[in-house]
Structure 1
Amino acid sequence: MNAPRIALVTGANQGLGRALVEGLASRMDPDDLVLLTGRDQRRVTDAAREAAQLPGTRAQVVGRVLDVTDTDAIALLAEDLRARHGGVDIVLSNAVARLLPEDSQAGRADEFIDVSNTATHAILRSFGPVLRPGGRLLVVASSLGTLGHLDPRLHHLFDGATLDQVEYAVESWRGAIHHHTAQEAGWPVWLNVPSKVAQVAAVRAVAAERRAHDLADGTLIAAVCPGMVDTATSRPWFSDYSGAQPPARAAEAVLDLVLAQHVDPALYGELVRFGKALPWHDGTPPVEQDRLLTP
């Protein structure tokens, strides 16, 4: 008899994260455990209770407070799951800071980077070592996460980089924002582009070190693009939402990847959208967005 599986989703109070929890809970087994995490105790408790009571829910759903900007808390949770359960089987890193078009990009940079990038680095470092054989560790990014979306002057910071080098590049970008030299160095005004490229680069860095061992035991580490999702975070940025998916539908392709019995080696360490890897070097810098947005 197989041991119960343990799944963890960050940023899971609402939107895509909530849909991922609900989808996992409906497709996993009754002895399995899905941890719904977020920063606010009340919202976490309410969301976990509601997910547990859905008619299609099979697995156990438990709320757990986790502020992903607290790297020590991430490490402690990983160690707790190792001690209690021998590790974790599914980790979906989904948390993102909500940023509105009227917000100052530079003024919100620290929060945005902490939630999207510092947290990603911490999750990869803390949960990679406790991922059980055959496990899944996916970082939710976007199609903007390919290297070509950055100015070519910045490519060397992320192409073939180690996780330490990605982290250094992110902190250099943060420093350039604070010193008002970011645009001069080629960084776009729009925070989402460097953030997503750095997320994918971090995944690629960890995957490069683990590839042979992980593929041998069926483990998958990857970034994932769910496509356009109709959420409170993304809706203010688009005037045409005719192609947007509700969170439950967007979660389906991600969950198909998570719960696939076999790992396609072509997807390992890559940015995956609807079951296919996006070429790392594709994309063009978002000149138009920079013209429209002010720092």
Structure 2
Amino acid sequence: MTITLVTGATQGLGLALAQGLAQRLEPTDTVYLTGRDLSKITAAVQAVPGGGAQVRGELLDVAAPNAAADLAKQIEERHGGIDIVFGNAVMRIGPDDNPREIIDDYTEVNNFGTTRLLKAFAPLLNDNGRLLVVASSLGTLHHLAPILHKRFTEPSSLDELDEQIANWRDAVKEGRTSAWPAFVNIPSKIGQVAAVRILASQHDYLARGILVAAVCPGMINTPTSALWWDVSTAPTPAQAAEALLDLALKPVKPQHYGELVRFGEVVPFS
């Protein structure tokens, strides 16, 4: 019996990941399709084709401080552990959004939500499990001024990284961003990749066949992406999900451990 979970799964890539897992797994397996809107969760579960794994909708707002830990406890009580976790919950930002006005909610979902998910579900991973955080190729130090690199390379724990993210958040709110990129997605994605790297370095999960990694799905044809770029020829969410599902279900490649992986290849952090 395989137990899996996808956050941010009511639309786009998250829904495609949940659907893909359900199709590739067996009727005795379970896919937890999660989101923060019950009506959207219900509609998403109903949209999954039958014949594969059981799809179970669950409320999970990763921005709520205890939500990930509470759901992890429930899953542990029901199943004893978990096999695959996709961290895909994201608050998107549009070209007209003012970073100073949205940065609190943005970091709560994208960054603190990621570290909460890692803390809650990493201890539950069964042997040969997967813990994959959907990030971006923007999540590398190449996109950041060198003076800021140590903010993401020196923390040795997720709590220390959270402190750095909070410092950046406060700098954005107060307009103290001379060295930071104007596009807040860049530090946020770097923070997500850094979180994965820290977790992987803290534990030898690979010895148990567990893959902990950040994943980049590449450009996807979604309404949000279309606000920023021409995505008319980009893959659909279902197409973009294929490489991520392969990473979750095929044998582990040790070189992927703790790294950002795009289309099966490691994207160097620095």
Q: TM-score, normalised by structure 1?
A: 0.89
Q: 1:68-96, CA deviations, whole angstroms, 9 ceiling, x for partnerless residues? A: 10120110101111111001111000011
Q: Does 1:191 align with 2:180?
A: no
The residue aligned with 1:226 is: 217
For 2:149 and 2:24, locate their aligned partners in 1 and report how far apart those are by CA, in whole Å. Answer: 40
Q: For structure 1, which runs of at least 5 residues remain unmatched after alignment?
A: 282-295
- Cα distance in 1, alignment partners of residues 226 and 55 from structure 2: 28
Structure 1 counterpart of 2:69: 75
Q: After TM superposition, list the pairs within 5 Å mapping 1:254-273 onto structure 2.
A: 254-260=244-250, 262-273=251-262
Residues 1:204 and 2:193 are matched in the alignment:
no
- The reply to whether residue 115 of structure 1 matches residue 109 of structure 2 is yes
Q: Deviation of residue 232 (structure 1)?
A: 2.3
1:167 counterpart = 2:187: no
Shift of 1:233: 2.2
- Give the TM-score normalised by the residue count of structure 2: 0.97
3-state SS of 2:223 partner? coil
Name the residue aligned to 1:177.
172
Runs of 4+ in 1 over 4 A off after TM superposition: none
Shift in Å, 1:100? 1.3
- Size of the alignment, in residue pairs? 269
**Which residue matches 2:45?**
48
Check the 8 A contact 1:141/1:225 in 2, yes or no: yes
Letter in 1 for 2:196: V
Distance 1:242 1:177 in 2: 32
Asked if 2 retains the 8 angstrom alpha-carbon contact of 1:228 and 1:243, the reply is: no
Distance 1:113 1:279 in 2: 24
How far has the Cα of 1:98 moved from its partner? Answer: 2.5
How far has the Cα of 1:160 moved from its partner? 4.6
Amino acid at match of 2:244: V
Answer yes or no: is 1:37 the counterpart of 2:26. Answer: no
- The CA distance in 1 between the partners of 2:59 and 2:257, in whole Å, is 30
Q: Is the 8 A contact 1:19 1:247 kept in 2?
A: yes
Shift of 1:60: 0.4
Distance 2:83 2:237 in 1: 23
Query: Match of 2:90?
Result: 96
Q: Name the counterpart of 1:129.
A: 123
Q: Structure 2: which amino acid aligns with 1:233?
A: T
Q: Which runs of 5+ in 2 are unaligned?
A: none
Q: What is the SS of the residue equivalent to 1:107?
A: helix
| Superposed displacement of residue 165, structure 1 | 2.1
Residue by residue over 1:234-286, the C-alpha shift from the partner in whole angstroms, topping out at 9 and shown as x without a partner, is 12111x224411000000000000001x21110000000000110111xxxxx
The 1-side partners of 2:127 and 2:224 are apart by 34
Tell me, in whole angstroms, the C-alpha distance in 2 between the residues paired with 1:97 and 1:84. Answer: 30
RMSD between superposed Cα atoms in Å = 1.1
Q: Distance in 2 between matches of 1:78 and 1:232?
A: 31
Residue aligning to 1:236: 227
Q: Say whether residues 1:277 and 2:246 are aligned partners.
A: no
Opposite residue 49 of structure 1, the aligned amino acid is Q
Q: How far, CA to CA, are the matches of 1:132 and 1:164 in structure 2?
A: 24
The match for 1:246 is 236
Shift of 1:231: 1.3
Identity of aligned residues (%): 50
Structure 2 CA distance for aligned equivalents of residues 243 and 131 of structure 1: 37
Q: Does the 8 Å contact 1:158/1:165 carry over to 2?
A: no
